[in-house]
Amino acid sequence: MKEKLLLLISLQECDSQLVKLSLKKVKLPEKICKMEDDFRLYKESVEQNKRKYEELKAQRTECEATVKKLSDGMIKTRERLLEVKNNKEYQAMLKEIETSEKTRGDVESRIIVLMDEMDKLIVLVKKDEETLKQAESNHEKEKKIIEDDLNAIEADTVTWTEKRAVLAKSVSADLLARYERIRKRNNGIGVIPVWKAVCKGCHMNIPPQLYNELQRSDELLTCPNCNRIMYFQNQEESS
């Protein structure tokens, strides 16, 4: 193949790689964000039992405080009972102690129910923790792959930019300008393969005579439809 065309094809390869890299630079951080969001939601759903357990634990602490308060209150009432002279007051205090005893009994029953529920829940919580640990490890591994990919972008960009600069020096200013002009008008693709008389850029048929010329001529020919610089490529051999 003509040297000029080979240079343009290599230049196109560099430009396409650079476009891909700059796209990745935008897309990969978005992908990581999405992964983090998804994982956070998943984690919240897995931690439902844990949250319920914490809720019951808080209720239990509250109940225990109530029991302590009632017990302390009863001790004080019993102390005061010894100093009371008036029978009516004495009876009222006995009633107060009785009410407190009843309430304390109810709260203690509630504590037992809570402890039962917590015992059942803790089994599920442990299982959930294992599940989450595994999922977290997978998540971190997947994230690491994308992060590594992202970290390689800068270095790859430098490599392709340097390669492009070397190639561009070998292409005449006129041809380079022409290539750039066509590329800008055609989604970043200025040079395109043609196979079986079809332009791979616009997918239109190339007239037979032009297709014949493309396979023989040393001229740089352009697609009559999309205007890209064409080259013949046997797609069966190259793939």
Contact footprint for Zn ion (CB under 5 A):
199, 201-202, 223, 225-226
Would you say 202 or 220 has its CB closer to Zn ion? Answer: 202
* Token reading at 166: 């070397």
Residue at 213: amino acid letter: E
Residue with tokens 């292409």: 171
Whichever of 135 and 221 has its CB closer to Zn ion, that residue is 221
Cβ at position 239, least distance to Zn ion in Å: 20
- CA 71, 76, 82, 87: dihedral to nearest 10 degrees? -80
Least separation in angstroms between CB 180 and Zn ion: 18
Which residue number, 176 or 197, has a Cβ lying nearer to Zn ion? 197
Q: How far is the CB of 15 from Zn ion (least distance, A)?
A: 17
Determine phi and psi for 88, rounding to 5 degrees: -65, -45
C-beta closer to Zn ion: residue 108 or 180 = 180
Token couple for 140? 């971190």
Whole-number Å distance between alpha carbons of 121 and 60: 14
DSSP state of 206: P
Distance from C-alpha of 18 to C-alpha of 211, rounded to nearest angstrom: 30
Q: Which residues are CB-neighbours of 42 under 8 A, at least 6 positions away?
A: 135
CB of 171 to Zn ion, least distance (A): 21
Task: Quote the least distance from Cβ 23 to Zn ion, whole Å.
Answer: 23
Comparing CB distances to Zn ion, the nearer of 169 and 203 is 203
